[in-house]
A and B are shown apart, each in its own frame.
Chain A
Amino acid sequence: NAGVTQTPKFQVLKTGQSMTLQCAQDMNHEYMSWYRQDPGMGLRLIHYSVGAGITDQGEVPNGYNVSRSTTEDFPLRLLSAAPSQTSVYFCASSYRTEGSPLHFGNGTRLTVT
């Protein structure tokens, strides 16, 4: 099984550009989420989805959009990139049960200049 697949692995953007980070999972997980990881701050939740057609905001949603048209895919869109969005982004998925572990992709390292 591929698990959670994120693309691209690296990306450099100029301020104001937009892009989409892709995330796909093949485990039939209902729950998917996006985190950003910055030094000394752990992982912070951006947006999450409990199923196709349902999304909600996490702790740091500003500047990001998501949609969930299928169970498998959960893309993250940066509308107008800012240097503060330089980070490593992780997509994760899990079953919708108490204590279910998150399965993470290998991340996308984004630099905004």
Chain B
Amino acid sequence: TQLLEQSPQFLSIQEGENLTVYCNSSSVFSSLQWYRQEPGEGPVLLVTVVTGGEVKKLKRLTFQFGDARKDSSLHITAAQPGDTGLYLCAAAFAGGTSYGKLTFGQGTILTVHP
């Protein structure tokens, strides 16, 4: 089983602060996705990164994919209470049937206090 390490597990910050969530593995990803989940609902896709070194921006969220495609990060600038939720990274590992068969990290519970 290929492991995906996500850190930190918990983040509690004040509105306006910046934060970064990390996702790492010893194996190469063919692609990596970030999801956000709110209580009582299923995860919803934020972004997919495929190319090593790729950077994608979604408003105040910046996603990076490591050059070696073994790590990724999610950076939120000026966090707002509406960013509160569970953030999950999910990887398709190179060499397998990657569509849909994703391995998920443990998740990061983010709480942004007003």
Contact = CB atoms under 8 A, between A and B. Distances in A.
Q: Is the interface of B mostly helix, strand, loop or mixed?
A: loop
A31 B104 CA distance: 17
Nearest to A90: B42
Interface string B70-114: 000000000000000000101010000111111111110000000
B88 A42 contact: yes
A71 to B, nearest CB: 14
B16 interface: no
Contact of B42 (A97, A98, A100, A105): A105
B42 A42 contact: no
Contacts of B107: 40, 42
A101 B33 contact: yes
B48 interface: yes
A107 B101 contact: no
B106 to A, nearest CB: 5
A66 B43 CA distance: 22
A41 B101 contact: no
A40 B106 contact: yes
Interface in B1-26: 1, 4, 6, 9
Contacts, number: 79
Contacts of A99: 30-31, 33, 48, 50, 92, 98-99
A48 B101 CA distance: 8
A96 B99 contact: yes
A48 B102 CA distance: 11
10 contacts: A41-B106, A42-B106, A43-B43, A43-B90, A50-B100, A59-B1, A92-B100, A99-B92, A102-B100, A107-B41
Interface of B: 1, 4, 6, 9, 30-31, 33, 35, 40-45, 48, 50, 88, 90, 92, 97-107
